């Protein structure tokens, strides 16, 4: 594709030209419509299982195209949950239920979760797991984003319209990454929220307790510093998030 992947424009790279907040909003809406089509627009529902910036390609007009269907699975449209023998996807974008079945069954809501993390990165313009963050609260990215909205902090260098659309993206993203699949919206609802007004209050990310945050942050830091973010570690992170009663 002429303009490469979305990853090129939301993560700082030498020579890349940053996209405006309005353009990012248009791209986010285009991606949401694309995922909605995969889930509801065909005779079979297509679950992608690897929604992330690298797999969103942009044409000459920056219209997004979802790519890389290597992990995708086809299921009947009436299947509320789907069988999987192993977790699939990219760490940082994988829904918790892919690892911890007590959270809920695997379904199209796994793509919804990945899309939510994508929105978080588009707004924050950095990866959702950042071991080099200056402040520990920024390490668990959705929690940091929630704090920005909840405290009413302004979005820098943006018009009022851009602030409105960016805040909308944040709120929709936070709904998409709720811990339990049942609490996440469908992609049809996501498109509806992006195209219109959304509730004023953003839902809290599922990791909010200070002690839990600290524990997860330490594990993530250790993993990144020694370059050993393995499947086992990721599973333990999700299980600890769900079980922790701080």
Annotated active-site positions, please?
50
Distance of CA 190 to the CA centre of its chain: 13
Q: State phi, psi for 201 to the nearest 5 degrees.
A: -95, 130
Kindly report which listed range (17-26, 85-94, 205-214) carries the lowest average pLDDT score.
205-214
CATH second-level architecture of 4-207? Orthogonal Bundle (1.10)
Write down the pLDDT at residue 227.
Answer: 39
DSSP code, position 3: T
pTM score, whole prediction = 0.78
Structural domain boundaries of the chain? Answer: 4-207, 209-245
Torsion sign, CA atoms 168, 172, 246, 144: negative
Mean pLDDT, to the nearest integer, of 90-107?
88
Q: Over the stretch 182-217, which tens digit does the pLDDT of each residue have?
A: 999 999 999 999 998 766 576 766 554 444 445 444
Distance of CA 86 to the CA centre of its chain: 21
């Amino acid at each position: 594709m002429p303009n490469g992947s979305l990853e090129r424009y939301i993560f700082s790279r030498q020579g890349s030209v940053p996209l405006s907040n309005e353009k990012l909003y248009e791209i986010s809406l285009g991606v949401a419509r694309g995922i909605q089509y995969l889930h509801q627009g065909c005779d079979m529902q297509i679950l992608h299982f690897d929604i992330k910036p690298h797999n969103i390609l942009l044409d000459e007009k920056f219209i997004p195209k979802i790519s890389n269907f290597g992990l995708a699975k086809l299921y009947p449209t009436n299947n509320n949950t789907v069988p999987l023998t192993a977790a699939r996807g990219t760490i940082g974008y994988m829904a918790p239920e892919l690892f911890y079945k007590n959270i809920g069954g695997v379904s199209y809501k796994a793509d919804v979760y990945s899309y939510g993390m994508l929105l978080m990165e588009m707004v924050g313009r950095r990866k959702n797991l950042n071991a080099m963050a200056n402040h520990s609260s920024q390490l668990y990215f959705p929690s940091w984003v929630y704090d920005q909205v909840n405290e009413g902090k302004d979005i820098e260098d943006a018009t009022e319209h851009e602030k409105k659309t960016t805040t909308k993206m944040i709120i929709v993203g936070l709904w998409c990454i709720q811990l339990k699949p049942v609490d996440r919206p469908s992609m049809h609802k996501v498109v509806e929220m992006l195209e219109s007004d959304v509730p004023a209050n953003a839902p809290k990310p599922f990791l909010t307790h200070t002690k839990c945050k600290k524990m997860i942050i330490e594990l993530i830091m250790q993993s990144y510093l020694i370059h050993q973010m393995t499947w086992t570690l990721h599973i333990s992170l999700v299980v600890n998030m769900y079980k922790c009663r701080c």
